[in-house]
C-alpha cells in the first residue's frame, strides 16, 4: 500500500512525509479504526481511506507541528471509522425496512388487528403529524410508498423510514395502553 500512497504525491519531500506517517502511525491508525468498527477488513479500509484523505490534505498535515501529527492522524482515522460505522448501520437499518416491503405483513395485521377502531384512533392521535399522515395514507387510503413520496415531496426511502417508525411508535403506544389497563 505504501507504494500506492507514494505514487499519489509529487515531490520527494511529500514522499518522505508519507513514508514517515505510514511507518510511525499505520498500526495506531489500524487499532483506532478497529476499536470503532470491530472488523479487521473494515479497519483496513478505514486506514486506507484515512491515508487518501491525508494525502489529499497534505498541506494541512505539513502545517501541523510534528509533535501533534499523531493526534491529527488518529483523529482523521477515528472520524472516518465512525462515518463508516454510521453508514453501515444506516444501510442495515434500510435493509431491515426494505425487507418489510410495501405490503403490510401478516404479523402487522395480527398485531394491529386485535385492537378496535377506537383504540387504534386514540393511539394514532398520539403520533406526530408526520408519522400519522404516512400511516393514514398507506393503510387507510391504500397509497403506495412511491405515491406518498410524491404527495409529500420526500424520497421513497424517507416514506418507508417513516412507516417503520410510525408502526413501531404505534405498537409502543398500544402496548403502554394495555399496561395501563391492567
- On whether the CB atoms of residues 26 and 48 are closer than 8 A, the answer is no
- On whether the CB atoms of residues 43 and 33 are closer than 8 A, the answer is yes
The span from the CA of 49 to the CA of 45, in Å, is 6
| Reported confidence tier of residue 102, pLDDT bands at 50, 70, 90 | very low
Name the grid cell of 32.
483506532
Q: What is the pLDDT of residues 61-101, one digit of tens each?
A: 888 888 888 999 999 999 999 988 888 876 665 665 555 54
pTM for this model (two decimals)? 0.52
The span from the CA of 38 to the CA of 77, in Å, is 14
pLDDT above 90 for 175: no
Instruction: Enumerate domains of the chain plus CATH numbers.
Output: 2-99 (1.10.1740), 102-181 (1.10.10.10)
Amino acid at each position: 500500500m505504501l507504494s500506492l500512497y507514494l505514487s499519489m504525491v509529487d515531490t520527494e519531500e511529500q514522499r518522505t512525509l508519507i513514508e514517515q506517517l505510514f511507518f510511525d502511525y499505520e498500526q495506531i491508525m489500524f487499532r483506532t479504526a478497529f476499536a470503532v468498527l470491530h472488523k479487521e477488513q473494515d479497519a483496513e479500509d478505514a486506514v486506507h481511506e484515512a491515508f487518501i484523505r491525508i494525502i489529499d490534505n497534505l498541506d494541512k498535515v505539513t502545517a501541523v507541528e510534528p509533535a501533534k501529527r499523531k493526534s491529527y492522524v488518529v483523529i482523521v482515522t477515528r472520524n472516518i471509522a465512525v462515518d463508516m460505522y454510521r453508514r453501515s448501520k444506516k444501510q442495515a437499518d434500510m435493509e431491515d425496512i426494505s425487507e418489510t416491503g410495501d405490503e403490510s405483513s401478516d404479523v402487522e395485521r395480527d398485531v394491529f388487528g386485535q385492537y378496535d377502531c377506537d383504540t387504534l384512533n386514540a393511539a394514532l392521535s398520539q403520533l406526530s403529524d408526520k408519522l400519522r399522515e404516512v400511516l393514514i395514507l398507506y393503510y387507510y387510503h391504500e397509497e403506495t410508498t412511491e405515491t406518498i413520496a410524491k404527495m409529500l415531496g420526500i424520497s421513497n426511502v424517507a416514506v418507508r423510514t417513516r412507516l417503520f417508525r410510525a408502526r413501531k411508535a404505534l405498537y409502543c403506544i398500544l402496548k403502554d395502553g394495555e399496561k395501563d389497563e391492567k
